[in-house]
Chains A and B, each alone.
Chain A
Amino acid sequence: MSTILNKKIVIPVLVLLAVFFPFMTQNNTYIIHVMTLSFIWMIGVYGLNLLAGYTGYLSLAHAGFFAIGAYSLGILTVKAQMNFWLAFLLALVITSVLGLIVGVIALRTKEHFFAIYTLCLGYILYLVIDKWESLTEGVRGLIGIPAPANIGPIKFDNELSNYYLVLVFLLLVVLVMYRIIHSLSGRTYIAIRNSEDLAQTIGISTMKNKLTVFVLSTFFAGLSGALYASFVRFIGPDIGAIPITFDLLTYLLVGGIGTLSGPIVGTLLIVWLSQFLQDLQDQRMLIFGPVLTLLVIFYPRGIVGGVSSLFHMIKSKGSQKSTTVPKARTAKEMVIEKNTISDKQVKEG
């Protein structure tokens, strides 16, 4: 990217912006509320991004794991009267362990089978939450989930403190994602996405890596779900339904699948757009559905991908004659092209 948009300057500016955001809005609770919710979604979208964007496995059970995180926290605090932070930790452990069990089985399948498998799995998770009334209260939903407990002198009784709590978690998630993507593991995942057979041939244990990613992805989903439950303090079975997975997928696709900043851009854009188009609540898919399809056809890497390839084009025009994105034709060319794109992705971050 150009020198003005140097990473070393941009990232601290963005973080500062997020920290001082509530003061800029003069503590407008509505805006802070929506912002906190979108931060929570972002964490979930990062989970989906790691799996679908970097290893190429489209999991359609993501909302199911989101719901498991939320319900674990809800049930442990409301029904078992457990200490909040202990329940929070346990919720993450439960989600990850379930993710591990599911992953071991689900990851034996590939491509379409994996998508269909997880789609059905998501539906089973939703049905179980909906029908297991003695545990989850069924359609009535879980009410009265406590707000996060105090940490020393810090209380979480208003919107502002919750905003900062979620922000801290989001920053941690972004940091973890940044470290993963720029490590050898991150490149390993991209290798698996580009060609699993090839990755296996050069000695990558694909199953081990895929499983790590799957568990991490469910961990993020669980974290996002637990934060959601403690923030909204009411959960119903709908949060585990397929439409939530599709929502998360829309956020990811609009922002840019397989990019580090994509989930932030996409979620912010769509969540705020949905707020402005609130009259359209039920019909918003009338717009977002075609957007999703068109993006995949014309900008498969979303807004972030589109902008970054624009920068690359401008940059490379100076040095080389033209390196516009080549039209892939043969399988071989495609692999090569994909590799260059993922290289860019890594650099662009």
Chain B
Amino acid sequence: MEILIQQLFNGLTIGSVYALVALGLTLVYGILHIPNFAHGALYMMGGYVTLTMMTKFGLHYWIAIFVSIIVVGLIGVLMERLVFHPLREAPPIHDKIAAIGILLFLEAFAQKFWGADYQSMPTPYESVVKIFGLTITMQRLLIVIAAIVVMVLLYLFLKKTYTGATIIAMSQNREGANLVGVNTNKVAMLTFMISGGLAAIASSLSAPINLVFPGMGQLVILKAFVIIILGGMGSIPGAIVGGYILGFSESLGATYISNDYKDIIAFILLVIILTVKPTGLFSKGGH
């Protein structure tokens, strides 16, 4: 029983990270209708920037995360301006290839700049707390809480502010949003900024319990794709729920099925979903 609860909490932690990454991905998909294969590279850059800020510049953990959000957000904006904006009328295969090009570049860049070895990130929250008989490290608790705070803030931003509403409007109908005077270029840039920021938060939060290395984004991004297909491409609640579902199934699968094959769970799940329903769960129908 205790193992089960411990594993459920682990699932909650992993799920929070997945949900944050998937949120960024689903926002971009909603706006531009492209699967951003380079999102995992943004996640990786976020981890490295936070790490560098903490070790090289001696900044506090939270300030380092803030810098990381800004830097990765700006990389996202640059990506939109330089790559996806010129390609907006091109056939869909071009966006994907361009995104792969960015992904390859950023990974090689990280390897050149920070080296290929695994690095661990120090955290000020290493203490262990006991809640209801569970031993939990502060960092894991922090991940869960911070993720929820970020999600609530994002929700309020999208629902209660004018700028947030423009993002939703554009994801519903690009031409329509343009007609009623929404500056779609600005909104696209803003979305990439948020998406990059979310990736940076997710990686900075999870880096202390995992490690930082050039390929750290690869598995996460693949799983984020599984999540947004699970939750419906472009759907925000879907990304959150999907993230937690995947987190739980992985941590339970690792304990009760096989630790070696835990990474495969997500992909088997995806293959099954797409085999049964080729347009993804909760698709809006039509072509």
Task: Give Cα A113–Cα B33 distance, bound, in whole angstroms.
Answer: 12
Q: Is the CB of A56 within 8 A of B100?
A: no
Report which residue of A52, A112, A123 has the largest number of chain B beta carbons within 10 angstroms of its beta carbon: A112
Do B222 and A111 have beta carbons less than 8 Å apart? no
Please name all residues of chain A whose beta carbon is closer than 8 Å to the beta carbon of B226 when the two chains form the complex. Answer: 120
Which residue of the partner chain, among A58, A116, A124, A197, contacts B93 with CB atoms under 8 Å? A58
* Among A112, A127, A283, A293, contact of B101 (Cβ-Cβ < 8 Å): A293
Give 1 or 0 for each of B57-95: 1 = CB within 8 Å of chain A CB: 000000000000000000000000001001101111110
B229 located at the interface, meaning its Cβ lies under 8 Å from any Cβ of chain A in the complex:
yes
Across the two chains, which residue of chain B brings its CB closest to A258? B93
B83 and A297 contacting across the interface, CB-CB below 8 Å: yes
Q: Does A338 contact B (CB under 8 A)?
A: yes
Contacts of A127 in B (CB 8 A): 261, 263-264
Q: Judging by beta carbons under 8 Å apart, are B87 and A286 in contact?
A: no
Q: Which residue of B lies closest to A117 (CB)?
A: B274
**B273 vs chain A, min Cβ distance (A):** 10
Q: Given A115-B96, A120-B222, verify A105-B108 contact (CB < 8 Å).
A: no
**Contact count band on A:** 35 or more
A112 touches B35 (CB 8 A): yes
Q: With A56-B91, A120-B225, A120-B271 as given contacts, are A291 and B101 in contact (CB-CB < 8 Å)?
A: yes
Which chain A residue shows the least CB distance to B258?
A131
Does chain A have a CB within 8 A of B287?
yes
Whether B278 and A109, one on each chain, are in contact in the complex, defined by CB atoms closer than 8 angstroms, is: yes
Query: Does A282 lie within 8 Å of B89, measured CB to CB?
Result: no
User: By the criterion CB–CB under 8 Å, are B104 and A112 in contact?
Assistant: no
**Could you tell me the distance in whole angstroms from the C-beta of A214 to the nearest C-beta in chain B?**
15
Which residues on the A side are within 8 Å of B270 (C-beta)? 116-117, 120
- Asked whether A285 and B107 contact (CB < 8 A) given A123-B222, A124-B268, A249-B97, the answer is yes
> A265-284: which have CB < 8 Å to B?
282-284
- Kindly state whether residue B103 has any CB partner on chain A within 8 Å: yes
Bits for A236-250, please: 1 = Cβ < 8 Å to B, else 0: 000000100010010
Which residues of chain A are near B83, meaning CB under 8 Å? 293, 297
Partner of A289, one of B94, B104, B275: B104
Interface presence of B282 (CB below 8 A): no
Interface residues of B, dominant DSSP: helix
**B56 contacts the other chain (CB 8 A):** no
Residue B98 is within 8 A (CB to CB) of chain A in the complex: yes
CB distance from A119 to the nearest CB of B (A): 7
Judged by a CB distance under 8 angstroms, whether A173 is at the interface is: no
CB of A155 closer than 8 Å to a CB of B = no
List B contacts of A328 (CB < 8 A).
89
| B102 contacts the other chain (CB 8 A) | yes
Contact A123 B87 (CB under 8 A): no
A8 at the A/B interface (Cβ < 8 Å)? no
Give the CA-CA distance A58 to B97 in the complex, in Å: 9
Q: Name the A residues within 8 Å of B279 (CB-CB).
A: 109-110, 113
Contact A296 B87 (CB under 8 A): yes
Complex interface bits, B237-278 against A, C-beta within 8 A gives 1, otherwise 0: 000000000000000000000001101101110110011001
Identify the B interface with A (CB < 8 A).
Answer: 33-35, 37, 83, 86-87, 89-94, 96-98, 100-109, 111-112, 116, 218, 222, 225-226, 229, 233, 260-261, 263-264, 266-268, 270-271, 274-275, 278-280, 287
The chain A residues found within 8 Å of chain B, CB to CB, are 52, 56, 58, 105-106, 108-113, 115-117, 119-121, 123-124, 127, 131, 197, 242, 246, 249, 253, 282-286, 288-294, 296-297, 300, 328-329, 334, 338
Q: Could you list 8 further interchain pairs (A-B, Cβ under 8 angstroms) beyond the known A112-B233, A290-B105?
A: A123-B222, A123-B267, A286-B108, A289-B103, A289-B105, A289-B108, A296-B87, A334-B89
